[in-house]
Structure 1
Amino acid sequence: MKIPSIFLIFLFIIFLPFLARKLFNLKENLFEKSKNSILFDDLNFENKTEIIEQGLYYLHNPLEIPQKNTIETVKLLEFIAENGHYKAFHKIGKFYEYGEGDLEVDMCLAKKYYQKSADYGIAISHLKMGLFNSIGKCGEQNQAKALIHFELANLNKSIVAKMILANRAYQGYNSHQSCEKAALYYENIAYQIFENESEEYSFSSKSIKKMHKITSLKEKEKKKKDPNVVEITNETDQKTIHYFNSLAEEGNAEAQNVMGKIYEIGTKTTPQNIDKAMEYYQKAADQEYVPALRNLAIQNLFPDNSKPQNISGLYLLLEAAYRNDTIAMNIISQMYREGLFVERNVMTALSWAQKSAERGDKDGQYISGMILLKEPELGHDYATAMLYFLAAASQKHPFSMYQIGKMYLNGLGVERKSCQQAVFWFKKVAESVVLQKKIIPVEEDVLQGKTIAAINHYEILVEMGFSKALFNLGALYENLDFDSMQKLFKNSPEFQQEFSEFLNNQKNSEKNSHSESEEDFIKKAIEKQRDLKMLKYYTLSAQQEHSLAIKKLGDIYFYGKAVEINYNTALRYYQLSSQFGNYQGSYSVGYIYENGFGNIEKNFDQALKFYNLAKSQNPKASLAINLIKIRCYFKFLFYRPKKAISTFLFDVILSNPFNSPHFIQKVEHFSSRINELGDDIMSFSLDGEQNDPNSKIDNFDLDFPFNFKILFVVVLGVSLVIILIFLKRLV
């Protein structure tokens, strides 16, 4: 039997969409297979080359990595890592540690890739593995493994690893505490910094010119507060140049000096032109603008190779120095010490450096110290050299800090050697450079709202021994939003274990309407992990006597975060914080005594005492604390009216600075009479029984006899009038 052709056509039309869908899916599968084979199968050389080039581009240009489909980028990086570019493993680990793109934070995967990278000797991956083992990310803490990884990172001259090892030696983490070993680490770090950056203080004509260029940056530092001053660099735009050029044409000496600097340095839009620079410097110098005199002198004394040296620059330099230009003084000092253009004379060199030092110039103080320390003609006056170095160090001069550390280490210019002091000063050098060069870019993370990155970077700073980082890390955890908490803790082994136990308990227990929901449990468990981290870092910071960290521990026990509520422990921490001068701690003590918590009774005297202490510790908070004290007076008016009224009157009247001693004596007498009145009021109740004047507010009987009620209302009215006067005076 033949099937009619019309029927076959009808069937084909019905099944056509189904066949099209099948063919489309087959094409997609083949495409995916092809794509995967491009990544992981042996292909021809051209495809591999293209993939590796793309992967290397992402590796060296991380800002170009697309934020969507990050998993594809991970596959790409993994492929190039397996083809010999092992740093890509580290990049993948960073993706998972920071939760970049559309990836979730997963410390265990991050650790896996960091370990792969470290196995191939990548120093920064050894550093990360050291941190993971030290902190206990994705597993328990293992300080022995951490130490091995830090040592391996140090072999690759990592300053961060060296600082971590120095801090561990000094604190005795997982090893014998050794100040001497720590001092050697810190000295080595400081020496590397000193060796790389102190060329401007060596003795050659080139370095003196370089010293001029570097120390002239001080002018920019001094003018940073002036919004009209623009720093001239290679990036200076054409509008800025046009602005200064127009001022220079009008005869403005400062603008002429700036134009000279623009032509001396050269910018993207204005090529370097020394002749034009000299022309502008000369115009400004003709108007006796001192910085231009010095700049003109430098160009004459130390010209480029195409121009002859002009000794007349020395006279210009001397003229600038006689006009109190400290940079010129420093250069002249170096010239006399070296014998450049003048006969070598150490005493004259010292004289010029001291003139600069006397004007508060930190470079002049440093140079004076170095001459006294190094020059045998002056008998090595170590004690005076130390004074100069200390003066410069007080202005955060890193090279002076280094010299102070060396002198303490060798016992020069001090009563005795001190390893602790040497460590202190060497560490300051290292820390100042780490912060200035932003080796750990934590400030940018905080400003840009990259909380997870900021936490990871603060953890590095903590390992390096930055004490302030402990408190900042605790504060970051305290203020962490819930989304960031989830990213940080949802994949952590601690949370996963708790969540697994919760699910098992849910299965084993009978279902009822009062059982905790899965969503509520997750929220509580994640917040618990956050609170434990916060407690850890605030405790470590408090151990270093950080007053606000101690106060924060009081808050933790007061509100019961990660611990049970304990008002007595909270009060102890608040009192300790108050002793270290923290006004928030003093206020918190006053608040506890004002309201009474747990078995801590209300205490009017103690509340006022600590409120007044808080006001003295932070005068800016005076208005707020005065209002709190008024609240306190009203509360205790019904609790202890004799004390509330007399203390309030005494406090308000004596706060007037124009009161005479005779008037104050009268106030004290009046206050004592009110106290006596208060005793009469407090001594009797309706039934005639005597009450305890220190009884709690809940037990106090407000039902006075009629005559005492009238007296009480009168006194209350007077006190309200005085309160209004007091508030008016505050405003």
Structure 2
Amino acid sequence: MYSKGQGVPQSDEEAVKWCTKSAEQGNANGQYNLGNMCKNGRGVPQSDEEAVKWYRKAAEQEESYAQDNLGFMYLNGRGVPQSVQEAVKWYTKSAEQGNASAQFNLGLMYENGQGVPQSDEEAVKWYTKSAEQEDADAQFKLGWMHDKGRGVPQSDEEAVKWYTKSAEQGNASAQFNLGLMYENGQGVPQSDEEAVKWYTKSAEQEDADAQFKLGWMHDKGRGVPQSDEEAVKWYTKSAEQGNASAQFNLGLMYENGQGVPQSDEEAVKWYRKAAEQGDSDAQFNLARKYKNGRGVPQSNEEAVKWFRNAAEQGDSDAQSQLKEMSKKGFLS
């Protein structure tokens, strides 16, 4: 009651006081709650070691939430030496009691082969148990497994079903993937408007891929009125988070003066960021800028470097440019 301020003034210190009394008498719920207070530094100095101590006492009494949290502490090496085997042990104990969080976590361990032999089938088993209890992360993962045909037969319809359940609970990754399904007409009738709806929800939660996609939909006028300004807005948000496709497209907007004042310098800035991440289109455009001395000092050496990077990825235009520069004696 003190922890949540229900019926009394909120006080972490009072909450710790009464949790401690309960925990010291062996009450598993009190031990679990005291572990949380120690883990989060609420009412007591933060201490992973103390958190583990109390989680363990509760976990050994079969308190499923404490078992799940103890698994987390072992997985991340907090307050104990890191051990994926111990993490699996405690996640399993909790999951078998029906704890949805532990079921999801155990699914991740099987999917990634951490502490257990890798098994998509086991991952799906535990994701399903968790998803059926409305865990949004598990619903997303289960949708993804159906989407990719991992551990289950591939099914766009099942993917959409679980993505939708997760997306409606606010999971940004599920919202993005559901947007893709609507854009491509996979498992649902194709709808740019529905795609934009879900991309927007995800983008507003700072998902960089969704921000790029939303920018592209505004850029092309798909599902929304065409708007260079809106395209630039979302490309910028995504690009600043490191999305290479958004960085390249933002470079194009600056080069062409679409939705922003024309600027070769800004175009070069964003092409370079994308090029350094291996985007072949950005590498080609950056090479072109060096070749022509637009936004950067003219440099055949830099032009050749970036044309070559793009050409090695199979860019035919870059390969043609290299042949032309070779004829002029610019290749070393």
Q: 2:50 aligns with which of 268, 276, 279?
A: 276
TM-superposed CA distance for 1:228, in Å, is: 6.3
For residues 82 and 195 of structure 2, what CA distance do their matches in structure 1 show?
47
SS in 1 for 2:140: helix
TM-superposed CA distance for 1:334, in Å, is: 0.9
Write out per-residue CA displacement over residues 661-690 of structure 1, whole angstroms, 9 at most, x where no aligned residue.
Answer: xxxxxxxxxxxxxxxxxxxxxxxxxxxxxx
TM-superposed CA distance for 1:238, in Å, is: 2.3
Identity of aligned residues (%): 27
For residues 135 and 181 of structure 2, what CA distance do their matches in structure 1 show?
22
TM-superposed CA distance for 1:281, in Å, is: 1.0
Partners of 2:49 and 2:80 within 8 A in 1: no
SS in 2 for 1:359: coil
| Matching of residues 197-596 of structure 1 within 5 Å | 230=4, 237-267=12-42, 270-304=44-78, 307-309=81-83, 311-375=85-149, 378=152, 380-415=154-189, 417-430=190-203
Amino acid in the other structure paired with 2:40 = I
For residues 135 and 175 of structure 2, what CA distance do their matches in structure 1 show?
15
For residues 17 and 157 of structure 2, what CA distance do their matches in structure 1 show?
52
Partners of 2:145 and 2:151 within 8 A in 1: no
For residues 84 and 114 of structure 2, what CA distance do their matches in structure 1 show?
13
For residues 308 and 427 of structure 1, what CA distance do their matches in structure 2 show?
39
TM-superposed CA distance for 1:420, in Å, is: 0.9
Partners of 2:75 and 2:87 within 8 A in 1: yes
Write out per-residue CA displacement over residues 485-529 of structure 1, whole angstroms, 9 at most, x where no aligned residue.
Answer: xxxxxxxxxxxxxxxxxxxxxxxxxxxxxxxxxxxxxxxxxxxxx
TM-superposed CA distance for 1:430, in Å, is: 4.1
TM-superposed CA distance for 1:352, in Å, is: 0.9
TM-superposed CA distance for 1:377, in Å, is: 6.3
For residues 347 and 422 of structure 1, what CA distance do their matches in structure 2 show?
30
SS in 1 for 2:49: helix
Amino acid in the other structure paired with 1:314 = V
Q: Rg larger in 1 or in 2?
A: 1
TM-superposed CA distance for 1:354, in Å, is: 0.8
Partners of 2:176 and 2:199 within 8 A in 1: yes
For residues 426 and 324 of structure 1, what CA distance do their matches in structure 2 show?
33
For residues 305 and 290 of structure 1, what CA distance do their matches in structure 2 show?
19
TM-superposed CA distance for 1:311, in Å, is: 2.2
For residues 206 and 82 of structure 2, what CA distance do their matches in structure 1 show?
38
Is the alpha carbon distance of 1:320 and 1:306 closer, same or farther for their aligned partners in structure 2, counting shifts above 3 Å?
Answer: closer
1:621 is matched with: none
Write out per-residue CA displacement over residues 157-184 of structure 1, whole angstroms, 9 at most, x where no aligned residue.
Answer: xxxxxxxxxxxxxxxxxxxxxxxxxxxx
For residues 259 and 375 of structure 1, what CA distance do their matches in structure 2 show?
42
TM-superposed CA distance for 1:431, in Å, is: 5.1
Write out per-residue CA displacement over residues 335-391 of structure 1, whole angstroms, 9 at most, x where no aligned residue.
Answer: 111111111111111111011112222222111001222356645322111001112
Write out per-residue CA displacement over residues 85-113 of structure 1, whole angstroms, 9 at most, x where no aligned residue.
Answer: xxxxxxxxxxxxxxxxxxxxxxxxxxxxx
For residues 118 and 165 of structure 2, what CA distance do their matches in structure 1 show?
27
TM-superposed CA distance for 1:229, in Å, is: 5.5
For residues 73 and 18 of structure 2, what CA distance do their matches in structure 1 show?
25
Amino acid in the other structure paired with 2:167 = A
Write out per-residue CA displacement over residues 35-80 of structure 1, whole angstroms, 9 at most, x where no aligned residue.
Answer: xxxxxxxxxxxxxxxxxxxxxxxxxxxxxxxxxxxxxxxxxxxxxx
For residues 266 and 292 of structure 1, what CA distance do their matches in structure 2 show?
17
Is the alpha carbon distance of 1:428 and 1:304 closer, same or farther for their aligned partners in structure 2, counting shifts above 3 Å?
Answer: closer
Partners of 2:48 and 2:79 within 8 A in 1: no
For residues 341 and 423 of structure 1, what CA distance do their matches in structure 2 show?
40
Amino acid in the other structure paired with 2:161 = L
Mean Cα deviation higher: 375-384 or 392-401: 375-384
For residues 422 and 236 of structure 1, what CA distance do their matches in structure 2 show?
45
Is the alpha carbon distance of 1:377 and 1:313 closer, same or farther for their aligned partners in structure 2, counting shifts above 3 Å?
Answer: closer
Root mean square deviation, CA, Å: 3.0
SS in 2 for 1:392: helix
For residues 303 and 292 of structure 1, what CA distance do their matches in structure 2 show?
16
1:106 is matched with: none
For residues 58 and 127 of structure 2, what CA distance do their matches in structure 1 show?
26
Question: Which structure has the highest helix share of the two?
Answer: 1
Is the alpha carbon distance of 1:228 and 1:252 closer, same or farther for their aligned partners in structure 2, counting shifts above 3 Å?
Answer: farther
TM-score by length of 1: 0.26
For residues 238 and 305 of structure 1, what CA distance do their matches in structure 2 show?
22
SS in 2 for 1:311: helix
TM-superposed CA distance for 1:290, in Å, is: 1.0
| Matching of residues 94-243 of structure 1 within 5 Å | 230=4, 237-243=12-18
Q: How many residues align structurally?
A: 205
Is the alpha carbon distance of 1:310 and 1:394 closer, same or farther for their aligned partners in structure 2, counting shifts above 3 Å?
Answer: closer
SS in 1 for 2:98: coil
SS in 1 for 2:70: helix
For residues 14 and 79 of structure 2, what CA distance do their matches in structure 1 show?
32
For residues 353 and 391 of structure 1, what CA distance do their matches in structure 2 show?
13
Structure 2 residues not aligned, in runs of 5+: 208-229, 231-332
Amino acid in the other structure paired with 2:193 = Q
Is the alpha carbon distance of 1:236 and 1:311 closer, same or farther for their aligned partners in structure 2, counting shifts above 3 Å?
Answer: farther
For residues 154 and 65 of structure 2, what CA distance do their matches in structure 1 show?
34
TM-superposed CA distance for 1:236, in Å, is: 6.9
For residues 17 and 79 of structure 2, what CA distance do their matches in structure 1 show?
30
SS in 2 for 1:323: coil
1:16 is matched with: none
TM-score by length of 2: 0.54
Amino acid in the other structure paired with 1:295 = N
Partners of 2:38 and 2:50 within 8 A in 1: yes
